[in-house]
Amino acid sequence: MVPFSFFGEGDSLREYWDYEYEFTKVAEAHSIQGSRAKIVFEEGSCVKVQELRRRWYNSPELPEDLQWDDLGAKSVQVMSDMCSGFFENGEHATILLRIKYYYERWKYYVDPTAGIIMFEEWIIPEEAPEPVSCTSGVKTCYCGTVSGNAYVVGNQAGVSRSFRLTGTEGYYWSPAVIVGFTVTYPTGEVTLDVQIRAERHYAGAVKVYVEVAEDRSLWLWGYDAGTNWGTVYLAWAPLE
């Protein structure tokens, strides 16, 4: 085992850090006529949100138009059981989690003789400790013919089924949120508006709870249309 020796004083310095909470789009959901649904996050489940970084050297001043680099999605843990309200009868809902985002700026002394200092900034989504929120509206549902993986929910009012969301790695909402930080540099105060994307990829128990709202002769189906359960579609169809 290689023991971690702590850094020598003066080699690295965290110059500044801050955090902000922002409601971040992490899922979208539809119901169809005669059904209702909600999104359930269990404690310990994860949504994936982009981690960003940028760096430069030769001056503490932030270079103009320096872009953030995408480091991929970081797991953001849901800290308690949470669920959205029900959306029903064709209602569309955008599910938002209040995520805590950190900004950190580091300074590394690379070559003291040559006076080389590197600066590095990070945006890190950390956790979702707050209750979920959702905005609702009307949007065309592309639900249609049952395809891909599919399970039947039922055809009698009150019958329900949960579908576990998994999703596809690398498939992002763009953007999921814009987080604003007011950051103090040695050269002055700067407002950073950082666009952050969320991945449609979930870990642990992120579920769609679907319930039949009225008795029908057809059966309510939940299916993924080949999205690897990134999306749960609903349709009324005969029992095969």
Alpha-carbon Rg for the chain in angstroms: 23
Rounded to an integer, what distance in angstroms lies between the CA atom of residue 157 and that of residue 133? 26
What's the token pair of residue 42? 């269990």
Rounded to an integer, what distance in angstroms lies between the CA atom of residue 125 and that of residue 21? 10
Rounded to an integer, what distance in angstroms lies between the CA atom of residue 84 and that of residue 40? 7
Please check whether residue 103 is in contact with residue 121, taking contact to mean a CB–CB distance below 8 angstroms. Answer: yes
Nearer to other proteins, 115 or 137 (CB): 115
What is the x/- site pattern for other proteins, positions 93-112, by CB under 8 A?
A: -------x-x-x---xxxxx
Nearer to other proteins, 14 or 139 (CB): 14
Q: Which stretch binds other proteins (CB under 8 A): 47-55, 141-149, 170-178, 221-229?
A: 47-55
Please check whether residue 74 is in contact with residue 48, taking contact to mean a CB–CB distance below 8 angstroms. Answer: yes
- Of 212-231, binders to other proteins (CB under 8 A) are none
- Of 140-169, binders to other proteins (CB under 8 A) are none
Contacting other proteins (CB under 8 A), which of 56, 86, 151, 209? 56
Contacts of 99 (CB under 8 A, 6+ apart): 21, 22, 23, 24, 49, 76, 125, 126, 127, 128, 177
Rounded to an integer, what distance in angstroms lies between the CA atom of residue 203 and that of residue 77? 9
What is the x/- site pattern for other proteins, positions 183-202, by CB under 8 A?
A: -x-x----------------
Nearer to other proteins, 4 or 142 (CB): 4
Q: In whole angstroms, how close is the CB of 160 to other proteins at the nearest point? A: 20
The reply on whether position 53 binds other proteins by CB under 8 A is yes
Site size toward other proteins (CB under 8 A) is 58
Please check whether residue 152 is in contact with residue 220, taking contact to mean a CB–CB distance below 8 angstroms. Answer: yes
Contacts with other proteins, residue ranges (CB under 8 A) = 1-2, 4-8, 11-19, 43-44, 46, 51, 53, 55-61, 63, 66, 69, 71-72, 74-75, 77, 100, 102, 104, 108-112, 114-118, 120, 122, 124, 126, 184, 186, 203-205
